[in-house]
C-alpha cells in the first residue's frame, strides 16, 4: 500500500488533524502525541472506541486524569507505558499484538510526542498493512528520526516479523 492508497481511504478527520503529531494509519487507527482534554472529546465524537497511551504518567506534557476523562467520554482506556530511553522489546511486541486484536475497533494510539508510537507504526505498516518500507519510512520521518535505542527496537522487531507476521 502506498501513501496515496492510504490517504484515499481516509475518513474526514479534519477536526482532529490539529492534534499534536496527528497521523492517519487506516480508518480504524490514528496516532498522535498527547491529546488535550478537549481533544479527547473530539476523538470520542469522531467515533473512536479505544484510547491507548504509551507514555508514562510523568511525561512532561501528561494529561493528568486522562484515564478518567477517556472513560467518562465512553471510550476504553489502555495504558501500556514504554520507557523512551530504554524501550522494551517485549512491551513493543505487546503493543503490536494489541493493535492486531483491536483491528475492527476505532483506536486512537498516542504517546507524549508520537515518537514511540511512530516507531512501532513503521513496523505495523510494513508487516501488518504490507506497506513498502520506503512509504512506511516517510510516515516515520514526518515525526522523527529514531535514536539508537529506538533504531535497535525497530531492528529487533524486523527480525521477529520477517517471514512470519500473520495479517489475520
Q: Which residues contact 124 (CB under 8 A, 6 or more apart)?
A: 25, 96, 99
The pTM score is: 0.90
The beta-strand segments (E) located in the chain are: 23-26, 29-32, 50-53, 76-79, 107-110
Q: Which residues contact 59 (CB under 8 A, 6 or more apart)?
A: 34, 111, 112
Q: Is the pLDDT of residue 5 over 50?
A: no
Bridge-based pairing of strands 23-26 and 50-53 is unpaired
Q: Is 142 helix (H, G, I), strand (E, B) or coil?
A: helix
Helices vs. strands in the chain: H and E counts, helices first? 7, 5
Per-residue CA distances from 4 to 7, 10, 22, 46, 117 (Å) = 5, 10, 17, 23, 21
Domains identified in the chain and CATH numbers: 3-161 (3.90.190.10)
pLDDT per position as a tens digit, 9-64: 568 899 999 999 999 999 999 999 999 999 999 999 999 999 999 999 999 999 99
Average pLDDT over every residue of 86-107: 96
- Which residue has better confidence, 17 or 8? 17
**Which residues, in sequence order, are bridge partners of residue 78?**
52
User: Whole-angstrom Cα distance, residue 34 to residue 53?
Assistant: 8
Amino acid at each position: 500500500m502506498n501513501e496515496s492508497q492510504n490517504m484515499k481511504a481516509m475518513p474526514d478527520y479534519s477536526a482532529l488533524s490539529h492534534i499534536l503529531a496527528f497521523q492517519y494509519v487506516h480508518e480504524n487507527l490514528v496516532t498522535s502525541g498527547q491529546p488535550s482534554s478537549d481533544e479527547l472529546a473530539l476523538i470520542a465524537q469522531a467515533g473512536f472506541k479505544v484510547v491507548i497511551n504509551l507514555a508514562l504518567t510523568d511525561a512532561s506534557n501528561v494529561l493528568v486524569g486522562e484515564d478518567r476523562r477517556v472513560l467518562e467520554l465512553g471510550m476504553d482506556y489502555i495504558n501500556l507505558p514504554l520507557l523512551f530511553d530504554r524501550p522494551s522489546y517485549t512491551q513493543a511486541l505487546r503493543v503490536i499484538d494489541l493493535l492486531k486484536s483491536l483491528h475492527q475497533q476505532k483506536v486512537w494510539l498516542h504517546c507524549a510526542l508520537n515518537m514511540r508510537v511512530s516507531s512501532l507504526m513503521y513496523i505495523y505498516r510494513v508487516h501488518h498493512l504490507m506497506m513498502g518500507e520506503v512509504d512506511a519510512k516517510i510516515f516515520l520521518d514526518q515525526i522523527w528520526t529514531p535514536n539508537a535505542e529506538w533504531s535497535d527496537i525497530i531492528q529487533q522487531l524486523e527480525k521477529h516479523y520477517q517471514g512470519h507476521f500473520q495479517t489475520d
